[in-house]
């Protein structure tokens, strides 16, 4: 089935259309001036951040320029979807080491007026051509490239929920690409680490190198060809990306590097609108991303099992060895078993059973008898993603995961001035059938008390499931302010370097950690605020209606309110 024009309506909702409602010239979006831009980039650092709160709109992302882009859209009358998409496209420019338009973008959205919660899966597809003998060596060439879903997810979300034009939402991204911005240390460091990949092609050197040399820290990065690409996307949308010049250029580059991607692969990609996965924890209802974006389902599975513990009596894992032990084992079990879940459109998936409380009780009881933590059969994909969460003044909520799906610039391939990412890194968790979606544990989620959203969140990186789990329980179960929660030490997911070990930060209370280790858990102790523990891009909506958020010290995050 070919991708239909984005001007169609979805489930009776009127599409915003290719142009959409355009802001008056006097209110048109404009990137911050040089002084404000530099001030915001100075805030793009690891370490403790200032919390934000307010009764109106709020946004949190992993880069201050992206957060400001979202807040400016809210101030100009855009809704939560508009603001989240503006932040996401800005991040493809200012955080090209974490995301790219050739990766994925999926959104959970709550519409306050209708009470409806929707999910659009904008993840990547495997090519239709088979990939015999596929292995990790393929990530360095064209065979590791998947069919992009990023732009399709963006356009589908905008058409159904957006209110402003694509041109307005993309103005800051285009300005930063064309006029440049100063590279913050995280971006510069990733350019340095991956310089051998970036610099092996003329296209990479033209964008990121000063001649043949890695640029100096803080140097201005210009992406003028990417600005041209984004301008064409704003004007032509899917006709350019999936059916036009961009698709052809990507396929030409990929095939020259040994890949099998074709223009027909692009044409047959479609956004997938899905009912969220639903679960409950005590008096809370959870809407999570459904398979094959199964991270939201995994969050629900974990909470269902934890409901059989007296967590309120035990206390959070930073204060209770029993809580730490059970949360580590449960999260590891769910992660490992989730690696066998494929795209439900190509393999049967008993989601009703997986999300049932009876199944959760059975798993919990059996877990108490088993080995503390079994080795994961496959290490997690490397860190590389962004998460964005926005709440607008009307109460609409958008939470988006978008990603390069791999180490940045894994293959050194570029088209239209943007990186062609090696999203095939996710083929190793479970190989999709030709032409089908990948399974990925991305986890946009919204938690409700009754019909009222009280938390919306998600996270990038290796330990995103454990990140969301710990912070959500800290705030909603234990009453920890979100600004304190993000700074607490965490345990994470499977170690990337020590088989069978679980990541844990060095400042986690030693007595608690030692008690759990004595019961058979092998910890890989890493630095405090370790970046593989993700970044909690969450907004808590209190009983008083005040929105509260705080940038995670493990990334360059910033939360900002409209007032």
Give CA 305 to chain center in angstroms.
25
**Token representation of residue 222:** 């210009």
Closest CA to 557 of 31, 47, 30, 39: 47
User: What is the model's pLDDT at position 487?
Assistant: 98
8-state DSSP, 545: S
- Per the rule left: phi > 0, alpha: psi between -120 and 50, beta: everything else, 346 is alpha
561 forms bridges with which residues in the sheet? 58
Angle formed by the axes of helices 80-94 and 166-179, nearest 10°: 20
Helix residue spans in 26-143 (DSSP H): 34-42, 64-75, 80-94
Burial profile 335-354: b = 16 or more Cβ within 10 angstroms, e = fewer: bbebbebbbbeebebeeeeb
What does the pLDDT read at residue 25? 40
pLDDT in tens, the chain (563 residues): 334 333 233 333 333 333 345 555 434 457 899 999 999 999 999 999 999 999 999 999 999 999 999 999 999 999 999 999 999 999 999 999 999 999 999 999 999 999 999 999 999 999 999 999 999 999 999 999 999 999 999 999 999 999 999 999 999 999 999 999 999 999 999 999 999 999 999 999 999 998 899 999 999 999 999 999 999 999 999 999 999 999 999 999 999 999 999 999 999 999 999 999 999 999 999 999 999 999 999 999 999 999 999 999 999 999 999 999 999 999 999 998 998 888 999 888 999 999 999 999 999 999 998 766 655 555 666 678 999 999 999 999 999 999 998 888 999 999 999 999 999 999 988 899 999 999 999 999 999 999 999 999 999 988 999 999 999 999 999 999 999 999 999 999 999 888 889 999 999 999 999 999 999 999 999 999 999 999 999 999 999 999 999 999 999 999 999 98
Predicted confidence at residue 563, as pLDDT, reads 86
Backbone angles phi, psi at 316, to 5 degrees: -70, 165
Nearest Cα residue to 279 out of 359, 394, 189: 359
* Tokens 């496959």, residue located: 378
DSSP 3-state assignment of 549? strand
Separation of alpha carbons 44 and 186, rounded Å:
8
User: How many DSSP H helices and E strands does the chain contain?
Assistant: 20, 21
**Contact criterion met (CB below 8 Å) for 399 and 389:** yes
Buried/exposed code over 111-149 (b: 16+ C-beta within 10 A; e: otherwise): bbeeeebbbbbbbbbbbbeebeebeeebbbbbbbbbbbb
Q: Is 518 exposed, middle or buried (0-12, 13-18, 19+ CB in 10 A)?
A: exposed
Q: What domains can you pick out in the chain, each with its CATH number?
A: 59-273+386-418 (no CATH), 278-381+445-541 (1.10.246.130)
Calpha distance 333→371 (Å, rounded): 11
Distance CA 468, CA 445 (A): 9
The neighbouring-strand residues paired with 54 are 547
Please give the Cα distance from 543 to 236 (Å, whole number): 43
Q: What's the CA gap between 250 and 355, in Å, rounded?
A: 39
**Secondary structure of 78-89 as H, E, C letters:** CCHHHHHHHHHH
With contact defined as beta carbons under 8 Å apart, do 180 and 266 qualify?
Answer: no
124 in Cβ contact with 395 (< 8 Å):
no
Asked whether the beta carbons of 23 and 168 are under 8 A apart, the reply is: yes
CA 326, CA 315: separation in Å to the nearest integer? 12
Sign of CA dihedral 482, 485, 487, 492: negative
* Distance (Å, whole) CA 554 – CA 536: 9
Beta pairing partners, 107 = 120, 400
172 contacts 72 by C-beta, under 8 angstroms: yes
Q: In this structure, what token pair is assigned to residue 418?
A: 């943007």
Q: What is the pLDDT of residue 497?
A: 87
- Dist. CA 439–CA 272, nearest whole Å: 13
Kindly compute the dihedral angle of the four CA atoms of residues 460, 501, 365, 362, in this order, to the nearest 10 degrees. 50
Closest CA to 502 of 328, 318, 295, 371: 328
**Contact between residue 493 and residue 465 where contact means Cβ atoms under 8 Å apart:** yes
Element of type H or E holding 230 = helix 224-236
- The span from the CA of 186 to the CA of 261, in Å, is 31
Rounded-to-integer distance, Cα 430 and Cα 346, Å: 12
Q: In the prediction, which pLDDT does 11 show? A: 32
- Give the HSE-up count for residue 529: Cα atoms under 13 Å, Cβ half-sphere: 15
C-alpha distance from residue 111 to each of 172, 463, 495 (Å): 25, 29, 38
Helix pair 166-179, 224-236: axis angle to 10 deg? 170
Residue written as token pair 């060095």? 506
């Amino acid at each position: 089935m070919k991708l239909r024009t984005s001007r169609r309506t979805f489930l009776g909702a009127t599409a915003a259309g290719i142009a959409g409602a355009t802001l008056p010239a006097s209110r048109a979006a404009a990137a911050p001036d040089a002084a404000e831009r530099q001030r915001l980039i100075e805030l793009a650092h690891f370490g403790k951040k200032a919390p934000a709160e307010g009764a109106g709109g709020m946004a949190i992302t992993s880069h201050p320029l992206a957060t400001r882009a979202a807040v400016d859209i809210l101030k100009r009358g855009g809704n939560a979807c508009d603001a989240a998409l503006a932040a996401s496209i800005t991040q493809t420019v200012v955080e090209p080491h974490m995301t790219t338009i050739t990766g994925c973008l999926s959104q959970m959205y709550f519409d306050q007026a209708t009470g409806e919660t929707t999910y659009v899966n904008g993840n990547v597809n495997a090519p239709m051509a088979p990939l015999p003998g596929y292995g990790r060596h393929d990530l360095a060439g064209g065979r590791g490239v998947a069919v992009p879903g990023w732009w399709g997810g963006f356009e589908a979300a905008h058409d159904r929920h957006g209110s402003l034009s694509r041109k307005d939402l993309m103005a800051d991204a285009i300005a930063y690409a064309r006029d440049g911005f100063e590279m913050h240390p995280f971006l510069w460091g990733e350019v340095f680490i991956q310089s051998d990949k970036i610099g092996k092609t003329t296209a990479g050197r033209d964008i990121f190198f000063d001649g043949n040399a890695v640029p100096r820290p803080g140097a201005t990065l210009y992406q003028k060809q990417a600005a041209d690409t984004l301008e064409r996307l704003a004007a032509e949308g899917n006709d350019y990306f999936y059916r036009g010049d961009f698709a052809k250029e990507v396929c030409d580059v990929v095939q020259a590097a040994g890949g099998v991607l074709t223009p027909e692969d692009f044409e047959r990609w479609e956004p997938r609108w899905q009912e969220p996965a639903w679960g409950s924890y005590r008096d809370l209802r959870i809407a999570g991303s459904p398979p094959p974006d199964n991270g939201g389902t995994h969050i629900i599975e974990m909470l269902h099992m934890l409901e059989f513990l007296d967590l309120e009596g035990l206390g959070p894992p930073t204060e209770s060895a029993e809580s730490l032990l059970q949360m580590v084992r449960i999260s590891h079990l769910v992660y490992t078993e989730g690696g066998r879940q494929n795209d439900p459109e190509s393999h049967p998936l008993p989601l009703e059973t997986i999300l049932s409380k009876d199944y959760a009780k059975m798993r919990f009881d059996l877990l108490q008898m088993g080995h503390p933590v079994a080795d994961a059969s496959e290490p997690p994909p490397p860190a590389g993603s962004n998460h964005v969460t926005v709440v607008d003044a009307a109460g609409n909520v958008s939470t988006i995961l978008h990603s390069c799906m791999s180490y940045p610039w894994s293959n050194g391939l570029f088209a239209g001035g943007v990186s062609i990412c090696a999203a095939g890194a996710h083929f190793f968790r479970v190989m999709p059938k030709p032409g089908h979606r990948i399974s990925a544990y991305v986890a946009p989620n919204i938690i409700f008390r009754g019909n009222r959203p009280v938390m919306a969140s998600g996270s990038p990186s290796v330990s995103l499931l454990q990140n969301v789990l710990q912070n959500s329980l800290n705030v909603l179960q234990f009453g920890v302010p979100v600004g304190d929660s993000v700074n607490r030490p965490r345990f994470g997911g499977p170690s990337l370097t020590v088989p069978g070990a679980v990541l844990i930060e060095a400042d986690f209370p030693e007595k608690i950690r030692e008690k759990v280790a004595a019961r058979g858990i092998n910890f890989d102790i890493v630095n405090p605020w370790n970046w593989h523990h993700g970044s909690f891009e969450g907004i808590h909506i209190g009983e008083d209606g005040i929105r509260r958020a705080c940038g995670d010290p493990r990334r360059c995050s910033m939360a900002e309110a409209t007032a």
